[in-house]
Every structure is written in C-alpha cells, then in structure tokens.
Amino acid sequence: MPELPEVETTRRGIAPALGHATPQKAVVRQPRLRWPVDSDALQRWCGAPINTIQRRSKYLILSNDKGHLLIHLGMSGSLRVLPQDTPAQKHDHIDLLLDNSHLLRYTDPRRFGAWLVHFDTDPLTHPLLSQLGPEPLSEAFNGDHLYAACQKSRRAIKVLIMDSKVVVGVGNIYANEALFLAGIHPATPANTLTPAQTDTLAATIKQVLARAIEQGGTTLQDFTQPDGKPGYFAQQLNVYGHAGKPCPRCGTPIQILTLGQRSSFFCPRCQPV
Ligand SMILES: [Zn+2]
C-alpha cells in the first residue's frame, strides 16, 4: 500500500511534467473508485494551468485557478506521466490529457483510490483534509505536540501515533520502525511516556519517513516509464516483517503482537515493557 513516502515520491516524480501544464480533458474509463468519480466536475476543473502540486497526508492536491483535484492512491494506485499515444492497459482508469502532448495516467487494480474535485479557494477546507493532524516532517509535529497528545490517552503508543488526528502519515511499517529506534514497546500506554521518550519518538518518526523519501528518490525516473511500477520501492527495515529473525541491535528474536488489528513487531530486549 502506498504510504506517505511513496505519495511524496509520486509528487516529486510527476511535478516536473505537470507544473504549469494545462489539463485539457479527462478520460474516465472506470469511475467506480472508492467514491464515484464525478466526470463532469473533472471536466469543469480542466482548462486552467496547474499552479501547484502539493501533498497533505496521503492526498496529492493539484491546484489551478478554478479549484483543486485531490488524488488518493488507495491500496494499489499509481500515477505516471506518459506520451499521449501510450495505449491504456486494463487497470488504467483515468487519463488527464495535458497541453504538452503528455497525459497523467492513473492505474489502480484494486480501485480503493480516489479522484475528487474541490471548488474552493482553500484545498484544506475539504472534509477529508480539514480534521487532519500535523504533517510528521513539519515543525508543528515535535516532542511537545506528541507528549500533549499522549497525556490525554491511555491507548497503546503505536495505536496513538497511527491516529491521523495526532499526526498524519505514520503507517504501520513506519510506526513499527520508529518505535524500535526509540526503544519503546509498542503496547506502552501513551500517558506513561516521559517527555524525553516523546522527544525521541517524534525524532525517530521523522527519521524513518525522511529516509524512506530519500530512498524513493532513486525511483523518480519510473514515473515516466510505461512499464514502471512507480511509487513503490524496497526499504531497509529493522523489525517490520521480521518476526523470529534476530534483532539487528542485540540478536534477540523479533516478536510479533496485534494492536488495533495491526501487526506489531518489536525486540523484547531493546523495547522493554
Ligand atoms: Zn534488540
């Protein structure tokens, strides 16, 4: 599933070809995504040059003077910029034809993604965006913010950092990895963490996400290749998916438990209860 680093990598991959291009027409072959694609609204949004391509949480926001196009990649979505004569394949559900002889193509085998048009001056007023917590790589997310959120909750710390009202974009992989690097057991009740621990955890969350975005940078050329699988890249992980394997720090076998219906991987020695 595309997580925040993959979405940010996608933004960086498509931005050079999209910036200041004008979408002329949308071709919707399959409107049944997570929510029905409003083809009429999409056509009305076309016709003005794209000014900015931003990311908020896992949403890409393409903005022009008419409004905003919000794109979510869901479970299996990807975007590429291709020449307009590139034949569409089975799961290529939407094309945005640009005035520079290219198109933005959306591919999504499982169709859990979203294409939503928002006609407002501020894209962040959209209901899906208006309630979100801070971006993990912004200054607004820091140890103090995390400590304040922890004080109000007895939930397991891993569940808390995956709550988009606390901080956006910390998916399961990154929550596991950040807690390992911080030496914090994933089931620790949030309100028992010290300010020093929340400082460390905020820092390791930033570290794992920034490193993943850096690794994604090696795949940017895939966004203009017809046969590429853009936005997905191999990562070096310490604990995620490593149940039974030795901890890279101390050699103790990594254990697994379920928290909030998600698998949690941890080293019982490096991350004591
Ligand atoms: Zn260990």
- pLDDT tens-digit series, residues 76-94: 999 999 999 999 999 999 9
State what percent of residues in the chain have pLDDT above 90. 89
Inside any domain, residue 137: no
Residues around ion ligand 1, judged by CB within 5 A, are 247, 249-250, 252, 267, 269-270
160-194 tens-digit pLDDT: 999 999 999 999 999 999 999 999 999 999 999 99
- Of the candidates 11, 55, 56, 58, the residue annotated as catalytic is 58
CA of 252 to the centre of ligand 1 (A): 5
Whether residues 147 and 113 share a domain: the answer is no
Whether residues 70 and 40 share a domain: the answer is yes
Inside any domain, residue 273: no
Nearest residue to 80 (alpha-carbon basis) of 234, 227, 235, 218: 227
Q: Give Dmax over CA atoms of the chain in angstroms.
A: 59
State what percent of residues in the chain have pLDDT above 70. 98
Residue 177 appears among annotated catalytic residues: no
Question: What pLDDT is stored for residue 228 in this prediction?
Answer: 67
Inside any domain, residue 73: yes
- Between residues 181 and 230, the one the model is more confident about: 181
Whether residues 75 and 154 share a domain: the answer is no
Tell me: is residue 211 an annotated ligand-binding position.
no
For residue 225, pLDDT over 90 is answered with: no
Whether residues 160 and 113 share a domain: the answer is no
| Interval 125-141 mean pLDDT | 97
For residue 229, pLDDT over 90 is answered with: no
For the chain, the domain total comes to: 2
Inside any domain, residue 212: yes
Whether residues 182 and 91 share a domain: the answer is no
Residue 2 appears among annotated catalytic residues: yes
Whether residues 159 and 58 share a domain: the answer is no
For residue 231, pLDDT over 80 is answered with: no
Residue 158 appears among annotated catalytic residues: no
Whether residues 118 and 208 share a domain: the answer is no
Tell me: is residue 72 an annotated ligand-binding position.
no
Of 72, 95, 125, which residue sits at a domain end? Answer: 125
Whether residues 40 and 109 share a domain: the answer is yes
Whether residues 147 and 243 share a domain: the answer is yes
Whether residues 118 and 166 share a domain: the answer is no
User: CATH no. for residue 167?
Assistant: 1.10.8.50
Whether residues 241 and 151 share a domain: the answer is yes
User: CATH no. for residue 8?
Assistant: 3.20.190.10
Inside any domain, residue 136: no
Domain limits for position 204: 143-266
CA of 248 to the centre of ligand 1 (A): 7
Whether residues 201 and 150 share a domain: the answer is yes
Residue 152 appears among annotated catalytic residues: no
35-49 tens-digit pLDDT: 999 999 999 999 999
